[in-house]
Amino acid sequence: MKMIVNKLLTIGRVSIAYLLIVSICNISGAFAQRRGGHMSRPGSSGSTSRTPNNNRANRPNTGGINRPNNTANNNGNRINNNNSGNRNNGNRTNINSGNTNVNINVNNSRNTVVRQNNYRPYTRPPYVYGGRSFYSYHPYYYHPYRPFYWGPAYHPWGFFIAALATTAIIVTVANQQYHYDQGVYYTQSNGGYTVVQAPVGAVVTTLPSSAQTVVVTGSTTNNYYYGGTFYEKSSKGYTVVPPTAGSIVTSLPEGGKETKVGDVTYVKVGETYYQPIQQDGKDVYEVVKVDEVKQ
Residue 152 lies in domain:
108-292
Does residue 23 sit within a domain? no
Does residue 53 sit within a domain? no
β-strand partners of 176:
173
* 3-state class (DSSP) for residue 23: helix
Does residue 9 sit within a domain? no
Does residue 86 sit within a domain? no
pLDDT at 175: 93
pLDDT along the chain (295 residues), means of 10: 54 56 52 44 42 43 41 39 36 34 38 70 94 95 96 93 95 95 95 95 94 82 92 93 93 95 96 95 96 83
Rounded CA separation 274/257 (Å): 10
Q: Residues with Cβ < 8 Å from 98, sequence gap 6 or more?
A: none
Distance between start and end Cα atoms, the chain: 164
Does residue 41 sit within a domain? no
Does residue 132 sit within a domain? yes
Q: How far is CA 97 from the centre of its chain?
A: 12
pLDDT at 133: 95
Amino acid at 136: S
Does residue 25 sit within a domain? no
Q: State if pTM tops 0.95.
A: no
pLDDT at 215: 84
Rounded CA separation 107/173 (Å): 14
Number of structural domains, the chain? 1
Does residue 103 sit within a domain? no
